[in-house]
């Protein structure tokens, strides 16, 4: 144990250390890399980092890590042995995973796919990994067919934990299997493996909100533990340096603007530690790229949270049930592996891993096409579309209006015309419109709702022009712009602390919006008139206002329609739904972190549980809308040569 603690102490310092001599003779893959001129330590590191998949994968890894400061550091990876379910049981566990995540949000169990832990994490030097994989294969061959299936599992719940525990007698059998692997690993690879001594189980949920327990328990009871299943003994590894880091995934590419910034490639993973964030300013994080090993600052809204196991590497997966040839290292495991790493988007794959010849493509998530029961109310909350001042800068008004106040667009993404304002065009400074692409985004959402056979009975909207235009385009996509009117509700405006200056925006009155051919209900009397809003309101006031107006809207619509759509701001998705579920408001700091990550046309759905007055977040009837940055193109600067 002292040696292991000493090893962990070496994780933080970023300096090169001397190479260790290799003690194991490797096969042709390593020989090919050595013949190409790669140093042995680098070749071994590339092989274990890609699961020993093939020469091409190892070469790609090496070339992408040329500037990695840890490239020549012999620090080993951490390994663990899990039992992974497959077949119908995996399908049921995957369904539980999705439903619990959608209904109650992510809890600690979601960081790793469904599994039974057979041993503690242990370290293994790169040159010993091939022998370690052989040790697992030998152990599985010895035990093949001796473990009865399905494993007897029993549901257990407590206030903070839900899991499926292996029946005691069978658990002892599995512990004997793990002990044999430990013996083989020490004999063949000279590594110490500590078999799991606690009760063997599949964790379903833990560290969740107390109010979510009844729903999680109900979902867990629907799992048929007697379902057919083959269990796979899977050897996995992770980078020891990032064991306690948060894992993020890159959504959009980013080109660094400064020397201390990190280049982002879409699909890459970023490791982030809270202790390293002191150098990052608001809206930025400091992290390390899985793809390159480089570290630096990156914009927070270009990444999203991922699961810890998304970056793990598979070094062997072997069936305990059948006698087919074991799957090779780097091959798909239960449909979860992609390019040597676990891919949670493939969680529903039920194919026999020993029969997979190549990589599994991502499966499409099916969406409901029918309408819900008429007795169940639904609330949709949607953020507005892309706004002009964010795309073209806060001085866009000065650039697009001439001295006589006439609007002239200077980019195809600017609207061809804008509504006239009694207060003059300077009112657009605080109340900007959406771009042409913003209108397109909104129509796409409306069309998707139409395709899913989802009708909207009532539309409520923040008084901001960008929100009203977004609602109008959603209704156009839904083909409801002539029969459904937008109710402009000032109580849905965002936290007024975020408004610059000493006064609120001057919004276009409903009558003038209607005159500009926007489908606005001019007879609607708002629950919170503009006169009740104040500049720089407290966070508690904003949260209370949002919750109160949402409740009054739902009460107003009850028994008159089934589905209510609120089109407002990024903050509205959290502020209008959290307390509706019976949850306490977050603190302002956590609230801001959530809001920053909500994109244009971010969309969430809430459903009332019968007539109970209890609401829960559910899967929206439409797919998410993803889009990336598109910089301005000037052909003169790019293409004209001196």
Binding-site annotation, residues for substrate: 466
Q: Which residues pair with 124 in a beta bridge?
A: 77
DSSP 416: S
Q: How far apart are the first and last CA of the chain?
A: 67
Q: Are 84 and 232 in contact (CB under 8 A)?
A: yes
- Report d(CA 493, CA 431) in Å as an integer: 12
Q: Indicate which residue of 421, 443, 569, 578 is catalytic.
A: 569
**Widest pairwise Cα distance in the chain:** 87
How far is residue 312's CA from residue 295's CA, in Å, rounded to a whole number?
A: 19
Active site residue 425: no
Q: Evaluate whether 261 touches 296 at the Cβ level (below 8 Å).
A: yes
Which H or E run includes 137? Answer: helix 129-143
Q: Could you say which DSSP state residue 482 is in?
A: T
User: Which residue blocks in 582-630 are alpha helix, DSSP H?
Assistant: 588-596
What residues contact residue 136 under an 8 Å CB cut-off, 6+ apart?
81, 181, 184, 185, 233, 235, 316, 318
Secondary structure (H, E, C), 74-104: CCCEEEEEEEEECHHHHHHHHHHHHHHHHHH
Query: How do beta strands 201-206 and 337-338 pair?
Result: unpaired
The per-residue b/e assignment along 274-295, b for 16 or more CB within 10 angstroms, e otherwise, is eeeeeebeeebbbbbbbbbbeb
3-class DSSP state for residue 331?
coil
Residue 132, C-beta contacts closer than 8 angstroms, at least 6 positions apart: 79, 124, 185, 188, 189, 191, 235, 315
Residue where the block lists tokens 């909100």:
209
Residues of each annotated binding site: 466
From CA 436, how far away is CA 614, in angstroms rounded?
A: 39
CA atoms of 513 and 516, how far apart (whole Å)? 5
> Please, which residues have CB within 8 angstroms of residue 639's CB and are 6 or more apart in sequence?
none
Respond yes or no: is residue 384 known to be catalytic: yes
Is 318 catalytic? The answer is: no
Q: Label each residue of 241-308 as H, E or C.
A: HHCCCEEEEECCCECCCCCCECCECCCCEEEECHHHHHHCCCCEEEEEECCCCCEEEEEHHHEEECCH
State how far the Cα of 408 lies from the Cα of 544, in Å rounded to an integer: 41
Q: Which of 115, 245, 378, 384 is catalytic?
A: 384
Backbone phi, psi, residue 304, to 5°: -135, 160
Per the listing, tokens 């663990």 go with 80
Residue of 65, 238, 318, 383 marked catalytic: 383
- Beta-strand relationship, 615-618 and 603-608: antiparallel
Distance, CA of 465 to CA of 512 (rounded, Å): 12
Please report, for residues 57, 165, 252, 291, 321, the alpha-carbon distance to residue 89 in angstroms, rounded to integers and kept in the order given: 32, 14, 35, 33, 14
Query: Comparing C-alpha atoms, which of 308, 385, 348, 372 is closest to residue 562?
Result: 372
For residues 459 and 567, the answer to whether their CB atoms sit within 8 Å is yes
Return the closest-CA partner of residue 547 out of 565, 508, 574.
574
Give me the active site residues, please: 383-384, 569
């Amino acid at each position: 144990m002292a040696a292991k603690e000493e090893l962990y102490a070496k994780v933080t310092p970023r300096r090169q250390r001397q190479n260790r001599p290799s003690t194991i003779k490797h096969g042709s893959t390593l020989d090919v890399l050595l013949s190409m001129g790669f140093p042995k330590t680098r070749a071994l590191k590339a092989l274990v980092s890609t699961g020993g998949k093939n020469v091409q994968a190892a070469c790609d890894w090496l070339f992408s890590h040329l500037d990695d400061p840890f490239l020549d550091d012999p620090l080993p990876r951490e390994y663990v042995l899990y039992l992974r379910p497959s077949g119908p049981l995996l399908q049921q566990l995957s369904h539980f995973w999705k439903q619990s995540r959608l209904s109650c949000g992510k809890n600690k169990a979601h960081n790793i796919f469904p599994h039974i832990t057979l041993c503690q994490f242990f370290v293994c030097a790169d040159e010993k990994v091939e022998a370690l994989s052989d040790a697992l294969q030998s152990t599985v061959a010895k035990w093949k067919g001796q473990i009865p299936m399905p494993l007897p599992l029993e549901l257990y719940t407590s206030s903070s934990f839900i899991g499926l525990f292996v029946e005691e007698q069978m658990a002892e059998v599995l512990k004997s299997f793990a002990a044999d692997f430990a013996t083989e690993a020490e004999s063949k690879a000279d590594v110490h493996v500590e078999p799991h001594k606690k009760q063997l189980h599949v964790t379903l949920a833990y560290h969740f909100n107390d109010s979510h327990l009844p729903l999680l328990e109900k979902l867990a009871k629907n799992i048929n533990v007697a379902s057919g299943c083959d269990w796979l003994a899977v050897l996995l590894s992770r980078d020891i340096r990032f064991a306690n880091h948060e894992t993020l995934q890159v959504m959009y590419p980013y080109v660094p603007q400064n020397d201390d910034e990190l280049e982002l490639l879409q699909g890459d993973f970023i490791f982030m530690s809270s202790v390293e964030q002191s150098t990052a300013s608001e809206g930025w994080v400091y992290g390390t790229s899985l793809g390159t090993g480089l570290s630096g600052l990156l914009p927070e809204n270009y990444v999203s949270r991922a699961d810890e196991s998304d970056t793990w590497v598979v070094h062997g997966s072997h069936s305990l049930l059948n006698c087919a040839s074991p799957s090779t290292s780097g091959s798909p495991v239960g449909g979860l592996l992609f390019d040597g790493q676990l891919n949670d988007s493939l969680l529903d794959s039920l194919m026999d891993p020993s029969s997979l010849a190549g990589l599994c493509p991502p499966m499409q998530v099916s969406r409901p096409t029918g309408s819900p029961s008429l007795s169940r109310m639904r609330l949709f909350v949607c953020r507005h579309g892309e706004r002009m001042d964010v795309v073209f800068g806060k001085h866009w008004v000065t650039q697009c209006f001439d001295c006589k106040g006439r609007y002239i667009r200077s980019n195809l993404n600017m609207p061809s015309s804008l509504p006239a304002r009694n207060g003059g065009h300077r009112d657009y400074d605080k109340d900007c419109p959406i771009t042409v692409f913003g209108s397109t985004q909104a129509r796409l959402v409306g069309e998707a709702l139409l395709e899913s056979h989802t009708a909207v009975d009532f539309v409520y909207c923040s008084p901001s022009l960008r929100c009203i235009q977004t609602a109008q385009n959603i209704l156009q996509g839904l083909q409801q712009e002539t029969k459904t009117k937008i109710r402009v509700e000032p109580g849905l405006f965002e936290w007024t602390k975020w408004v610059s200056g000493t006064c609120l925006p001057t919004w276009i009155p409903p009558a003038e919006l209607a005159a500009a051919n926007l489908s606005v209900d001019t007879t609607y009397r708002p629950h919170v008139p503009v006169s009740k809003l104040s500049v720089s309101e407290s966070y508690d006031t904003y949260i209370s206002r949002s919750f109160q107006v949402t409740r009054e809207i739902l009460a107003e619509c009850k028994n008159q329609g089934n589905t209510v759509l609120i089109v407002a701001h990024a903050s509205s998705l959290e502020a209008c739904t959290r307390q509706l579920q019976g949850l306490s408001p977050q603190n302002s700091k956590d609230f801001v972190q959530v809001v920053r990550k909500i994109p244009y046309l971010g969309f969430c759905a809430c459903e009332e549980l019968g007539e109970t007055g209890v609401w829960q977040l559910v899967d929206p009837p439409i797919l998410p809308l993803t889009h990336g940055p598109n910089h301005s193109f000037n052909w003169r600067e790019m293409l004209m040569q001196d």
